[in-house]
Amino acid sequence: MSDLDKWSINNYKIIGNYTIELNFVDGTKQTIDFEPVIGKGWLSKLKDTAYFKQVKLNDGGNLEWPDGQDFNPEALYDWPNFQQIYIDEINSI
């Protein structure tokens, strides 16, 4: 299984206003609270909880919102090591 394959999400569940539980094809699970990384720039629309809940899996097995916002699948898979990168990015806007 390639990294791209293992980073594919096979299902997800919204469990809070900005929190999603992810299950990846290799059996890895992540629970991600997106609130610290949304609200500015290209992620500003995700602050609207009704919009946030419109998330779907795209054809590549990644989370995507109606206007095309998505997160790098590698980052979702290894969120503890990537969250600060997103926080730093939005704080630089």
Domain residues of the chain, as ranges? 3-91
Average pLDDT of every residue of the chain: 91
Contacts of 11 (CB under 8 A, 6+ apart): 23, 57
Burial class (CB in 10 A: 0-12, 13-18, 19+), 64: middle
The average pLDDT across 63-69 equals: 95
Q: Is the pLDDT of residue 87 over 90?
A: no
What share of the chain in percent tops pLDDT 70?
Answer: 96
Q: Is the pLDDT of residue 22 over 70?
A: yes
- Token couple for 79: 């969120």
pLDDT value of position 1 = 65
Reference 16, options 45, 49, 42, 55; nearest CA is: 49
What gap in Å lies between CA 88 and CA 83, rounded to an integer? 9
Fold of the domain spanning 3-91: NE0471 N-terminal domain-like (3.30.2020)
Q: Is the pLDDT of residue 13 over 90?
A: yes
- Three-class DSSP category at 29: strand
pLDDT value of position 3 = 66
Residue 45 CB neighbours (<10 A): 15
pLDDT value of position 39 = 84
Does the predicted TM-score (pTM) go above 0.95? no
